[in-house]
């Protein structure tokens, strides 16, 4: 069982600024497959609406609670991307979200350094806002694995 000091909570509510910076909620613009997004959370929430739905664009341009609330009107049956749709919470959906998580960090020299600086810490994702939804866009286990795998790659690359 890791001690508290051996863990880093990657969440908007983290007590460590690095956890806030790496959080899916943070305003942190990136370009994903040709689309400019304000945050990973905005991407996650916007995907819930079909292309052409104004709520999708609103979510893509938002972060934090504004983004989260934008997605609350969705029925969470499907995720829509690149002219296709996939079942909500499916492996395909999780892989897509994972690619966006990676891409945001890969595009930012500062975020790459922040992630490298967490070497040796076990990453966790505890939002402090109730239990994880049973079916979700971003399971904590997947989010932390994507971050940990990317960190390993970045550390190997800078050696
Ligand atoms: N409330 C809560 N508790 C946890 O332990 C969590 N891991 C999360 N995850 C968050 O849920 C959001 C995705 O919601 P949808 O599945 O798209 O409705 C995302 O913000 C995760 O960080 N939540």
Determine the pLDDT at residue 158. Answer: 78
Residue 45 alpha carbon to ligand 1 centre in Å: 11
Residue 159 alpha carbon to ligand 1 centre in Å: 34
User: Tokens for 85?
Assistant: 């749709």
User: Tokens for 46?
Assistant: 């916007």
Of 2-11, 64-73, 77-86, the range with the lowest mean pLDDT is 2-11
Task: Residue 39: count other Cβ atoms within 10 Å of its Cβ.
Answer: 26
Collapsed DSSP state (helix, strand, coil) of residue 64? helix
Q: Is the pLDDT of residue 4 over 70?
A: no
CA distance 128 to 55: 26
Radius of gyration, CA atoms only, the chain: 15
Out of 98, 126, 127, 147, give the residue to mutate to test ligand 1, the one with the largest number of ligand atoms within 8 Å of its CB.
127
Is residue 71 within 8 Å of 43, Cβ to Cβ?
A: no
Backbone angles phi, psi at 132, to 5 degrees: -65, 135
Q: Predicted confidence band at 1 (pLDDT cuts at 50, 70, 90)?
A: low
- CATH assignment of the domain containing 63: 1.10.357.40
User: Tokens for 87?
Assistant: 């079942």
Residue 33 alpha carbon to ligand 1 centre in Å: 23
Domain of residue 131: give its range.
4-158
ipTM: 0.93
Mean pLDDT computed over 24-44:
98
Out of 86, 124, 137, give the residue to mutate to test ligand 1, the one with the largest number of ligand atoms within 8 Å of its CB.
137
Mean pLDDT computed over 112-127:
98
Residue 41 alpha carbon to ligand 1 centre in Å: 9
| CB neighbour burial string for 7-23, b if at least 16 within 10 angstroms, e if fewer | bbbbbbebeeebbbbbb
Determine the pLDDT at residue 146. Answer: 98
CA distance 26 to 41: 8
Domain count, the chain: 1
- What residues does ligand 1 touch, defined as CB less than 6 Å away? 24, 41, 44, 68, 71, 125-127, 129-133, 136-138, 140
């Amino acid at each position: 069982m890791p001690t508290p000091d051996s863990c880093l909570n990657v969440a908007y509510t983290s007590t460590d600024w690095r956890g806030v910076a790496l959080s899916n909620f943070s305003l942190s613009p990136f370009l994903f497959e040709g689309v400019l997004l304000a945050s990973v959370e905005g991407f996650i929430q916007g995907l819930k609406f079909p292309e052409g739905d104004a709520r999708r664009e609103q979510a893509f341009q938002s972060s934090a609670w504004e983004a989260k609330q934008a997605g609350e009107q969705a029925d969470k049956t499907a995720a829509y991307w690149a002219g296709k749709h996939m079942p909500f919470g499916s492996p395909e959906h999780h892989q897509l979200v994972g690619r966006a998580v990676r891409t945001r960090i890969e595009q930012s020299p500062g975020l790459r350094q922040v992630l490298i600086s967490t070497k040796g810490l076990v990453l966790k994702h505890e939002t402090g806002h109730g239990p994880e939804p049973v079916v979700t866009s971003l399971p904590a286990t997947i989010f932390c694995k994507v971050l940990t795998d990317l960190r390993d790659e970045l550390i190997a690359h800078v050696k």
